[in-house]
């Protein structure tokens, strides 16, 4: 309660600053994003979390002189309800008015709305300005962030080192990537491009860092022209000067990107000449546009450009990064095998612990009854068991850390879609409740993301039927064959149809791209009901997750997730000469057959589970000890096909 009261007092401080500002602010927008429009941000960039108390990765706060509102999506509705104080109102994305519409409808004519121009994308700013125009409201670019002014113990910036991602894992050299990028600049008649997304800078220059928990990126920008390449970074982090020089990249101070954007716009930005460059001055004169991606470039940089000469298109790096090269695909497959072994070791360990300490019937048996030991040396909680899982992963080759905070959730907590357990408040494990674990890791050769849902007691028939519906959707998407040009929006229905038949659904997307030792959530493609999923067709060699779910508030949650690689399909025919695509699953860990109602599966679905389990056993046993092998053998025994 004291923490909530202190946070509420911050609202009063913020409103005092808003009133004293010139011009006075009628509202202040506090987004989740940093200056690179990142999903996961460093501790010092968590302004929305600081002011609201809501810890989810997605959301936006709006503070007016009378109200405080927080918008978030369906993954976080329950979490936000639990974390927001009475002074905050939860706005549900997809159900309530978008923030710009709410401002236009609820604030006065000529109201002034403050924003940190570094933390809002060009696309979002233009959407706001369009909505505000009907009442002559103003989106005002603040010279300093007002939240920072009241955040007295804001974490300081750390000078963590930049390191090189070797070509043996990256698969392509920086020279090759820059050559391809410059060809795209010429094609679009652009003299240069501003790259703001952290994973795009990291991918382009084959570098990684530790500036953001779970994402191996460096706080940096890149500007690439036909003749030069620039890397804007805190120079204290850089000990790879020779590497940069060899690749024709100039290292500049992080804060110089804004002034250099102006120089780029006027054609005056000069750097080290590209060795062997075939582009002359005529190319520079003929190509006068500056390319930005309006989803990742911030308003502060856009404001420095000649807006008549700005080329606003999806980043030319987005697709090459999403379509993995053969080396990256090989690394991802290997990383997922090691990761699957860690998950199996964890499940076998947890099964044993639940039986020994809680008298649970265990992973395989449905016998009723459980009896918790009175004197346990170590209590099993959502946090202590997830720490054990991290330990199994850490023992694997090339492990670099987790890819996101582990979602280790029991019973009602599993219904909180992106639940994040805290050591001082998390639940103890319960043999009579569902346990959902969504986790992943960063390895030098790939990024992983897997979800399994299990029950160590006797699941109810309702829980079984829900689990089976989720599994049926999971299998349907995995088994899909579809023509080139198909988007994830079209495929999303496959994972939901088995749930819809029972009047059930889930409030999150079905799949996201995944990086190669980069961000665990990677675009530009996705599998989702959201309109943005229509924008980018799936292509061979893309990676995407398959993760349908079902969540019953206050009771349980179910999700199953594998990572898939899009591949060319071997079809008998080729109607329309389009070419057809299918999926290859690269995640390996068993599904709990105890939770499956086999009467609801078709023979083909049972055959899919049995084939997956047989392959799982074959692939993972090399990484397991004898006890773990025996557990996996039992977990992957074939399901009998009902007559």
For residue 142, being part of any structural domain is answered with yes
Query: What pLDDT score was predicted for residue 641?
Result: 76
Rounded to an integer, what distance in angstroms lies between the CA atom of residue 388 and that of residue 156? 31
Same domain, 538 and 576: yes
For residue 351, being part of any structural domain is answered with yes
For residue 641, being part of any structural domain is answered with no
For residue 237, being part of any structural domain is answered with yes
Instruction: Kindly state the helix (H) or strand (E) to which residue 544 belongs, with its residue range.
Output: strand 543-546
Same domain, 42 and 176: no
Strand order in the sheet with 580-585: 482-483, 580-585, 562-568, 543-546
* Token digits of residue 51: 């002011």
pLDDT 10s digits, 27-41: 999 999 999 999 999
- Are the beta carbons of 351 and 631 closer than 8 angstroms? yes
Nearest to 395 by CA among 209, 625, 633: 625
Burial 336-373 (b: 16+ CB within 10 A, else e): bbbbbbbbbbbbbbbbebbbebbebbbbeeeeeebeee
pLDDT 10s digits, 67-111: 999 999 988 999 999 999 999 999 999 999 999 999 999 999 999
Our count of domains for the chain comes to 3
Same domain, 376 and 313: no
Same domain, 400 and 533: yes
- Are the beta carbons of 494 and 477 closer than 8 angstroms? yes
CA quadruple 34, 35, 38, 43: dihedral sign = negative
pLDDT 10s digits, 512-557: 999 999 999 999 999 999 999 999 999 999 999 999 999 999 999 9
For residue 584, the cross-strand partners are 565
For residue 642, being part of any structural domain is answered with no
Rounded to an integer, what distance in angstroms lies between the CA atom of residue 546 and that of residue 385? 25
Same domain, 213 and 311: yes
pLDDT exceeds cutoff 70 at 273: no
Strand spans (E) along 93-226: 112-115, 138-141, 163-164, 190-195, 207-208, 220-225
- Mind giving me the DSSP string for 280-337? -HHHHHH--EEEE-TTTSBHHHHTTS-GGGEEE---TTHHHHHB--HHHHHHHHHHHH
Domain final position from 318, 335, 356: 318
- Are the beta carbons of 187 and 248 closer than 8 angstroms? no
For residue 157, being part of any structural domain is answered with no
Same domain, 525 and 604: yes
Rounded to an integer, what distance in angstroms lies between the CA atom of residue 505 and that of residue 499? 6
For residue 158, being part of any structural domain is answered with no
Query: What pLDDT score was predicted for residue 275?
Result: 45
Residue 83, domain extent? 1-150
* Token digits of residue 105: 């409808």
Give the CA distances from residue 512 to residues 189, 544, 545, in Å, rounded to whole numbers and listed in that order: 32, 5, 5
Rounded to an integer, what distance in angstroms lies between the CA atom of residue 57 and that of residue 39? 6
Q: What angle do CA 375, 377, 380 make, to 5 degrees?
A: 100
How confident is the prediction for the chain on average, in pLDDT? 95
Same domain, 344 and 307: no
* Token digits of residue 412: 């009602």
pLDDT 10s digits, 589-642: 999 999 999 999 999 999 999 999 999 999 999 999 999 999 999 999 999 876
Domain final position from 287, 318, 349: 318
What is the model's pTM? Answer: 0.95
Same domain, 179 and 235: yes
> Of the ranges 277-286, 313-322, 357-366, 448-457, which one carries the lowest mean pLDDT score?
277-286
pLDDT 10s digits, 282-312: 555 567 899 999 999 999 999 999 999 999 9
Percentage with pLDDT > 90 across the chain: 91
In this structure, how many other beta carbons lie within 10 angstroms of the beta carbon of residue 396?
A: 17
Same domain, 174 and 241: yes
Three-class SS of 49-116: HHHHCCCCCCCEEEEECCCEEEEECHHHHHHHHHHCCCCCEEEEECCECCHHHHHHHHCCCCCEEEEC
Same domain, 210 and 94: no
pLDDT 10s digits, 553-579: 999 999 999 999 999 999 999 999 999
- Are the beta carbons of 450 and 587 closer than 8 angstroms? yes
Q: At 152, is the pLDDT very low, low, confident or very high (cuts 50, 70, 90)?
A: very high
Mean pLDDT of 441-454: 98
DSSP 121: B
pLDDT 10s digits, 340-387: 999 999 999 999 999 999 999 999 998 876 677 666 667 899 999 999
Rounded to an integer, what distance in angstroms lies between the CA atom of residue 118 and that of residue 35? 5
Q: Which residues contact 236 (CB under 8 A, 6 or more apart)?
A: 159
Instruction: Kindly state the helix (H) or strand (E) to which residue 260 belongs, with its residue range.
Output: helix 257-265
* Token digits of residue 633: 């053998």
User: What is the domain-level CATH number for residue 81?
Assistant: 3.40.350.10
Rounded to an integer, what distance in angstroms lies between the CA atom of residue 404 and that of residue 419? 12
Same domain, 272 and 331: no
For residue 643, being part of any structural domain is answered with no
pLDDT exceeds cutoff 80 at 260: yes
User: What is the domain-level CATH number for residue 455?
Assistant: 3.90.230.10
Same domain, 293 and 375: no
Nearest to 632 by CA among 428, 416, 340, 433: 340
Rounded to an integer, what distance in angstroms lies between the CA atom of residue 591 and that of residue 331? 24
In this structure, how many other beta carbons lie within 10 angstroms of the beta carbon of residue 395?
A: 11
- Are the beta carbons of 438 and 406 closer than 8 angstroms? yes
Domain final position from 126, 150, 174: 150
């Amino acid at each position: 309660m004291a923490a909530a009261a202190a946070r509420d007092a911050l609202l009063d401080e913020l409103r005092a600053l808003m009133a004293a500002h010139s011009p006075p602010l009628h509202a202040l927008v506090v987004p989740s994003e940093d200056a690179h429009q990142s999903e996961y941000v460093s501790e010092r960039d968590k302004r929305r979390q600081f002011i609201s108390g809501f810890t989810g990765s997605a959301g936006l706060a709006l503070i007016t002189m009378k109200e405080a509102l927080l918008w978030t999506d369906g993954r976080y509705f329950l979490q936000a309800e639990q974390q927001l104080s009475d002074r905050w109102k939860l706005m549900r994305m997809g159900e309530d008015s978008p923030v710009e519409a709410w401002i236009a409808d609820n604030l006065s004519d000529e109201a002034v709305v403050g924003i940190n121009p570094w933390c809002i994308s060009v696309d979002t700013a233009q959407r706001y300005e369009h909505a505000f125009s009907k009442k002559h409201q103003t989106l005002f670019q603040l010279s300093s962030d007002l939240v920072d002014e009241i955040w007295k113990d804001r974490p300081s910036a750390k000078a963590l080192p930049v390191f090189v991602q070797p070509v043996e894992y990256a698969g392509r050299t920086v020279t090759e990537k820059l050559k391809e990028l410059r060809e795209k600049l010429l094609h679009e008649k652009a003299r240069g491009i501003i790259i703001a997304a952290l994973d795009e800078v990291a991918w382009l220059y084959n570098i990684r860092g530790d500036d953001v928990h779970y994402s191996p990126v460096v706080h940096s920008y890149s500007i690439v022209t036909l003749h030069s390449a620039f890397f804007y970074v805190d120079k204290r982090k850089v000990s790879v000067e020779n590497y940069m020089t060899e690749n024709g990249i100039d290292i500049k101070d992080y804060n110089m990107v804004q002034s250099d954007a102006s120089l780029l716009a006027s054609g005056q930005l000069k750097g080290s000449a590209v060795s062997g460059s075939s582009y002359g001055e005529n190319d520079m004169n003929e190509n006068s546009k500056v390319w930005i991606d309006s989803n990742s470039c911030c308003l502060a940089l856009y404001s420095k450009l000649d807006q008549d000469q700005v080329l606003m298109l999806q980043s030319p790096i987005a697709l090459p990064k999403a379509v993995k090269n053969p080396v990256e695909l090989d690394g991802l497959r290997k990383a997922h095998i090691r990761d699957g072994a860690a998950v199996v070791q964890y499940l076998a360990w947890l099964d044993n612990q639940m039986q020994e300490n809680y008298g649970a019937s265990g992973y395989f048996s449905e016998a009723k009854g459980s009896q918790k030991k009175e004197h346990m040396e170590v209590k099993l909680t959502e946090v202590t068991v997830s720490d054990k899982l991290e330990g199994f992963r850490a023992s694997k080759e090339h492990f670099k850390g987790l890819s996101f905070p582990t979602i280790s959730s029991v019973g009602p907590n599993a219904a909180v879609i992106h639940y994040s357990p805290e050591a001082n408040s998390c639940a103890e494990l319960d043999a009579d409740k569902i346990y959902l674990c969504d986790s992943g890791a960063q390895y030098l050769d790939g990024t992983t993301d897997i979800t399994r849902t299990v029950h160590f007691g006797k699941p109810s028939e309702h829980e079984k039927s829900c689990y089976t519906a989720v599994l049926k959707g999971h299998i349907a998407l995995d088994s899909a064959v579809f023509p080139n040009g198909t988007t994830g929006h079209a495929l999303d229905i496959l994972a939901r149809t088995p749930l819809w038949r029972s009047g059930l659904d889930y409030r999150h997307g079905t799949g996201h791209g995944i990086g190669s030792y980069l961000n665990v959530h990677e675009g530009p493609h996705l599998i989702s009901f959201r309109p943005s999923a229509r924008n980018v067709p799936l292509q061979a060699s893309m990676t995407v997750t398959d993760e349908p779910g079902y969540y019953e508030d206050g009771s349980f949650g179910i999700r199953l997730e594998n990572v898939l690689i899009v591949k060319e399909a071997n079809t008998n025919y080729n109607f329309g000469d389009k070419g057809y695509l299918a999926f290859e699953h690269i995640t390996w860990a068993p599904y709990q057959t105890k939770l499956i109602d086999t009467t609801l599966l078709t023979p083909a679905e049972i055959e899919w589970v049995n084939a997956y389990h047989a392959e799982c056993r074959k692939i993972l046993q090399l990484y397991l000890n004898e006890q773990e092998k025996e557990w996996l053998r039992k977990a992957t025994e074939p399901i009998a096909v009902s007559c």
